């Protein structure tokens, strides 16, 4: 393999492979084919590399090499290798051969590639689907896809993953680009990396932490939160409702080397899967970017919730935001658990049942920070959002409010947070947590520390403009100067009109 392979090389090759499907099916669908093939290629190449290593070690003794291979990360049947599929790329049933290869790979690696009910991660994808066109067209597309992935720059071995996470980052690169092409559907599987980085830094976990994302999508936020620990001493847990997206998260974890991550498939609100015995599992850090104002989230079942997650109140049927927040609070460890969640601004001020839940949460002194983000950061929606930080180990009664809505980089289709913007938010939060920022104005037009009394006076409304004054006074108008300018303009207008009248007279009008 070429030892000089770079992240840019891999990204360019896999992105070029997408051309095979562009214009044929929607990006939200063809992402599954590209990402699955990248996963298959990686697993296959690592298997081949390890086999070669064992053959050298055991001086060509294939029986000993095969015995050793049975203890490797993945068992790869011969017909599931990329090389086998590439050799059969001209077969008229190549789509069927790829499907069989994936099924056999699942069977050989059930503990890693299946859910707890036995469903495999490839069950929702078929390379033999009519979605890829008529038979001849489909075969040509799949042949081209195999050719694209045979590029010598995509010859992987175990050292790549151990050295710099290059394969996992290529996978994340693809997910992000698919999200930018997928419109509204993108929010179902991807949180912009800058927002994930910000949330991970705000909830920074200590070594040994259990970290959970109950609406994990493709797992990008969960991985960012893990990386923020600064060591490998942490455990990742997640749950995802959408089957295809759950499969992406499973592959994402494996490509990043998080083989022990636990990612469950199911509805977190109706059927939480992360449990210990009959009780919900508890976590040090809980982060999420749940679907905004989810309709039909399960309110009818919430009053009789067996885990008593909604004792503060049941959110409205048409807005599930506080349902997700309530779940996250309940699964955070008492005395130390921290929650970071992306929310629409309505969560901060809406009344009725949401207002009662919010008041109870504030009275429990769980709300630590409310951070307003710029508009148009998220895929599929231009509305501005906020980050709520809740802390069961909070050291003060005060609450930090940050208006970061004006600090960002303009993008053609989407705005983004710059490193300096993230640093400004995180440093302000850190100063608050360490006690440096006291009640009152923390930073003019940017941050404010509110006391419990102030929040109560505002009827438990957490809307940021109530606390952070961003009003810009208009410049004073010099009336005398304006009158002088108007008089001068009137004189100039009279001169122009006189000239026009003369020109018209010369022309005989």
**H-type alpha helices, 261-320:** 299-302
**301: buried, middle or exposed (CB in 10 Å: 19+, 13-18, 0-12)?**
middle
pLDDT digits (tens, 9 = 90+) for 351-365: 999 999 999 999 999
Measuring CA to CA, how many Å separate 319 from each of 25, 287, 315, 352?
A: 32, 19, 7, 12
| pLDDT (0 to 100) of residue 471 | 63
Asked if pLDDT for residue 95 goes beyond 70, the answer is yes
pTM: 0.87
- The DSSP annotation for 112-127 comes to HHB-TTS-BTTTT--T
186 pLDDT above the threshold of 50: no
The chain-wide mean pLDDT, for the chain, equals 89
Residue 170 clears pLDDT 50, i.e. is over it: yes
- Give the mean pLDDT of 289-312: 95
**Residue 405 CB burial class (10 angstroms; 0-12, 13-18, ≥19):** buried
Contact 172/220 with Cβ under 8 angstroms? yes
Contact 318, 346 (CB under 8 A): no
pLDDT above 70 as % of the chain: 92
- SS3 category, 369: strand
pLDDT at 272: 97
**CA 292 remoteness from chain centre:** 14
Give the residues across from 450 on adjacent strands: 399
Confirm if 330 and 366 have CB atoms less than 8 A apart. no
Q: How far apart are the first and last CA of the chain?
A: 86
Q: Name the CATH topology of 184-466.
A: Rossmann fold (3.40.50)
Q: φ, ψ for residue 118 (rounded to 5)?
A: 95, -5
164, 270, 392 from 273: Cα distances, Å: 32, 10, 23
- Is 393 a residue whose pLDDT tops 60? yes
**Cα 73 vs. chain centroid, distance in angstroms?**
27
* Model confidence at 395: pLDDT above 70: yes
C-alpha angle 379/295/197, rounded to 5°? 35
Q: What is the CATH code for 7-181?
A: 1.20.1260.30
pLDDT at 484: 82
Per-residue confidence (pLDDT) for residue 227, from 0 to 100: 93
Assess contact for 440 and 449: CB atoms under 8 A: yes
Mean pLDDT, to the nearest integer, of 298-314?
Answer: 96
466 Cβ contact list (under 8 Å, min separation 6): 458
What percent of the chain shows pLDDT beyond 90? 67
Give the pairing type, strands 338-344 and 279-280: unpaired
- Structure confidence at residue 43 as a pLDDT band (50, 70, 90): very high
> What is the predicted pLDDT for the residue at 28?
66
- Nearest in space to 61 (alpha carbons), one of 51, 73, 70: 51
Domain residue ranges in the chain: 7-181, 184-466, 476-509
Point out the least confidently predicted range of 84-98, 180-194, 453-467: 180-194
Q: Which two tokens stand for residue 406?
A: 């004006």
Q: Tens of pLDDT along 254-300?
A: 988 899 999 999 999 999 999 999 999 999 999 999 999 999 999 99
Judge whether residue 332 has pLDDT over 90: yes
More confident residue, 145 or 475: 145
- Report d(CA 316, CA 323) in Å as an integer: 9
Q: What is the mean pLDDT of residues 441-467?
A: 96
Which region among 42-46, 173-177, 209-213 has the lowest average model confidence (pLDDT)? Answer: 173-177
φ, ψ at 234 (rounded to 5°)? -160, 165
């Amino acid at each position: 393999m070429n030892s000089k392979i770079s992240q840019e090389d891999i990204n360019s090759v896999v992105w070029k492979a997408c051309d095979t499907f562009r214009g044929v099916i929607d990006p939200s669908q063809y992402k599954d084919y590209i990402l699955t093939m990248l996963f298959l290629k990686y697993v296959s190449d690592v298997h081949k590399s390890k086999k070669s290593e064992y053959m050298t070690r055991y001086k060509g003794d294939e029986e000993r090499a095969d015995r050793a291979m049975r203890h490797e990360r993945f068992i790869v049947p011969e017909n599931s290798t990329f090389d086998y599929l590439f050799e059969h790329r001209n077969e008229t049933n190549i789509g069927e051969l790829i499907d069989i290869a994936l099924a056999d790979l699942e069977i050989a690696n059930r503990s890693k590639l299946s859910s707890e009910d036995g469903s495999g991660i490839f069950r929702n994808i078929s390379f033999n689907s009519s979605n890829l066109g008529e038979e001849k067209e489909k075969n040509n597309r799949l042949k081209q896809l195999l050719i694209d992935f045979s590029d010598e720059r995509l010859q992987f071995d175990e050292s790549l993953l151990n050295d710099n996470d290059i394969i996992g980052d290529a996978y994340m690169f693809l997910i992000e680009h698919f999200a930018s092409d997928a419109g509204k559907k993108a929010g179902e599987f991807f949180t912009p990396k800058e927002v994930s980085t910000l949330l991970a830094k705000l909830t920074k976990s200590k070594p040994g932490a259990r970290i959970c994302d109950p609406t994990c999508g493709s797992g990008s936020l969960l991985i960012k939160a893990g990386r923020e620990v600064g060591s490998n001493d942490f455990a990742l847990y997640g749950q995802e409702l959408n089957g295809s997206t759950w499969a992406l998260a499973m592959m994402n974890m494996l490509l990043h080397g998080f083989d022990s991550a636990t990612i469950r498939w199911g509805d977190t609100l109706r059927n939480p899967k992360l449990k210990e015995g009959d009780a919900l599992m508890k976590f040090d850090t809980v982060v999420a970017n749940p679907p905004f104002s989810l309709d039909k989230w399960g309110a009818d079942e919430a009053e009789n919730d067996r885990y008593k997650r909604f004792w503060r109140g049941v959110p409205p049927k048409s807005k599930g935001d506080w349902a997700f927040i309530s779940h996250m609070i309940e699964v955070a460890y008492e005395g130390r658990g921290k929650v970071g969640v992306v929310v629409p601004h309505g969560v901060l001020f809406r009344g009725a049942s949401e207002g009662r839940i919010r008041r109870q949460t504030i009275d429990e002194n769980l709300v630590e920070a409310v951070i307003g983000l710029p508009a148009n950061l998220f895929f599929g929606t231009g509305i501005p959002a906020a980050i709520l930080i809740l802390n069961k180990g909070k050291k003060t009664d005060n609450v930090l409010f940050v208006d970061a809505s004006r600090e960002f980089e303009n993008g053609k289709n989407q705005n983004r947070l710059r490193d300096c913007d993230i640093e400004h938010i995180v440093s302000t939060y850190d100063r608050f947590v360490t006690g440096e920022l006291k009640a009152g104005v923390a930073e003019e037009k940017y941050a404010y520390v509110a006391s419990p009394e102030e929040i109560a006076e505002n009827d438990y409304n957490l809307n940021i403009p109530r606390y952070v004054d961003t009003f810009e006074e208009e410049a004073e108008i010099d009336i005398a100067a304006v009158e002088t300018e108007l008089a001068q303009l009137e004189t100039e207008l009279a001169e122009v009109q006189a000239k026009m009248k003369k020109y018209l007279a010369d022309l005989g009008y």
